[in-house]
Structures are given as C-alpha cells and as structure tokens.
Amino acid sequence: TLKTVVTANALKETLTKNTQVNDEKVTALILMHWTRLSSIRIGWIDDFNKIITQYILIYYKQSPLVYQHSQSVERVKFSKDATKIVAAFNDNTIGILDATLNNCQILEEYPDSVNDIQISSDNNTILSCSYDIIQIYDINAKKEIKTFEGHDAAVISAKFSSDENTIVSGSWDGTIRLWDVNTGQMIKTMSTPASSIYDAQFSPDNRLIVSSLDDSTIEIWDVKLGKKIKELKGYFGPVFKSQFSPDGKFIISCSADKTIRIWNVKSGKEIKKLEGHSDRVVDIKYSPDGQSIVSCSRDNTIRIWDVKTGKEIQILEGNSTWITGIDISSDGQTIVSCCVHGIIQIWR
C-alpha cells in the first residue's frame, strides 16, 4: 500500500542518515529490523521517524585509529566521558590513551600481568588488579595510593560500585571480596570454594553482585546479607563474564561453550540463548540504552546483538587474532577492542 511504501522510504532515509552506509547495507538493516518494527503502530511520518530513531541500532565500522603495543592487551576501558581509554597490558604495565589513540602514557610496572582495569568517573584514579593484589593509582600524582591485599590467588576481576565507594573483586581463590575505597579495609568475604571466579560485578543499584565461575555457573549475591540468593545454570564450559542490564532486571553472560545467554534476575530463568560465534566468547557489554549487546570471541570477531529478538545484527571483522576485551562508550557511539597481538582498535 501507499502507506507501507511511504513508511519504508522514511525508514530507509532515517537509516541512511544515522548510519551513513551504502544502499546494500541499508536494505539489509531494513529487512533485519522490519519484523520488530512492524509491531509498532504506524502514525504520521514525523512520529514514525521518532520511533525509528529509538529502535535503529548504530552501524559500527572499523576506524583508522589503532594503537600497537609490544605485548598482549588483556582489557580496555573507556573513561566515563570517553576522552580516555585505559589498557591492561600483559607486560605488567598499564596504559592511558587519549580517544584518538595517538598518545599512550605507560604507568610503572606491577608485580604481575594486569588482569582488570577501570578509570574513576573524575578521570583521576585507576583501579586495577594483578596477581594477588588490587591497587588504586593516582594519575596526577603518578603513584599508587592504595593497595588492597587478602586474596590467596590471582585476582581476575576488580570493579567499582556505581558511587565508587566500594570495590568488588573476584579471584581464583574462590572468593568475592568487598573493599572500602576510602579506608582500604576489606568489608566482606563471600566464598565459592568449589570453583574459581572469572568475574564479579555490581548491579546498577549496588544491592546485588553477579559472579561468573569456572564450573559453568553464574551466582547472584545479596550485598547486604553477604549471601548467595540464586544460581544460574545451563552452560557447558566456564563462564567468563556476566553483566546486569542498565535497569537491573536482566543479566547477560558469555562462556567457553560459544554462547551468550540472557537471564531474568527475578526468576533466575534463562530467557534467550544467542548463538553465532564459532569459538569461546570472552567478553560482553550491554549498550548504554540496554537495547543491544556487544560481544567478542576467540573467533577474531566482535558481534552486535539485538536484545529484543536475540538476533545477530552485525559482525565486525578485520582482526588477525582473537580479541581479549571490549568496551563501549557511554553514548553508545564507539567501541574499543584489544587483542593478544597488542592491538587496540576503535570502531565507530
């Protein structure tokens, strides 16, 4: 009908404006999204364009911005304002890069390779973890200002709470620990002695923690009680990462079994399984609006997934080796990735 033709043209025009890709890719995106968009009641064209803008996902492309390090890059993270990128290197150092990747400030050597990293919201300090310690480094003073000790094995994960007053850490010693940022004291220990922990993260309201285990299990913990309240099972290999959705109602996770799964926090039930990677999926991130998921794998690809349908909507290729980590900027416009060959790459 005339109405369908008009709305399809409006969709194509909006897509072209927002993604700046060629007609072939625009057509593919239209077909991909048409099913999910067809459930929306079509009104006046102006209103329709506003609705489309909310639902069309960004089309990422490999940018010419690349940084090459001499050793493997384990993790990369954007600052909150996306003006800086911090990187954890396998040569026991940390790097601070600007958004163009032109300049990299290398910080002093750590006792061992750096496993996780995060920059504070004011861009003044860096949280990192190495073999059995967690450290906070003052960027302006160019020195370590706090060390948190207590784990008995490698600390693989360390994350700030949303207010940055607390740190949650996960270790291969089978414990999750909470630390007071101001005093440097350990607040609480939660144990999973039967398995090593690959990752631990707070929920957006800091009331819960999700942990990813070597024994194929995901655990949800009540922070106040210090008790495990749910176990999520269904994987056939170690779980490397889990993250709460921006509204805290869902969890996404990735595993050595090549799948990504979406879980309902309240029920503890798996609601979607996302398949497409051909090797273990090592990192995942929600987009800031919670509408899409970014994943990376040892199959040398980054993939973008639609949360609502569970469908793969884009594959980012061009890496010569497996990708170790990804992050997405707070506005959702840019992805940064790192790999075992020491390459940090921008996608936008």
Torsions phi, psi for 285 (to 5 deg): -145, 140
Q: Which of 330, 250, 326, 241 is nearest to 289 (CA)?
A: 330
Instruction: Determine the pLDDT at residue 32.
Output: 53
List b or e across 29-46, with b for residues whose CB sees 16 or more CB atoms inside 10 angstroms. Answer: bbebbeeebeeeeeeeee
pLDDT of residue 29: 54
Q: What confidence score (pLDDT) does residue 25 get? A: 54
Cα separation of 300 and 348, whole Å? 18
Classify strands 239-244 and 227-232 as parallel, antiparallel or unpaired. Answer: unpaired
pLDDT value, residue 142: 85
> What is the per-residue pLDDT for 132?
84
* pLDDT at position 24: 55
DSSP state for residue 103 in the 8-state scheme: -
pLDDT of residue 21: 47
Confidence (pLDDT) at 216: 93
What is the predicted pLDDT for the residue at 111?
78
Whose CA is closest to 99, among 116, 115, 123?
Answer: 123
Residue ranges of domains in the chain, CATH in brackets: 8-54 (no CATH), 62-347 (2.130.10.10)
Residue 21: count of CB within 10 angstroms of its CB: 14
Q: What pLDDT score was predicted for residue 52? A: 47
The predicted structure's pLDDT at residue 28: 54
List the chain residues with pLDDT less than 50.
1-23, 26-27, 30, 34-56
Residue 308 burial by CB count (10 A; 0-12/13-18/19+): exposed, middle or buried?
exposed
Distance CA 203, CA 232 (A): 16
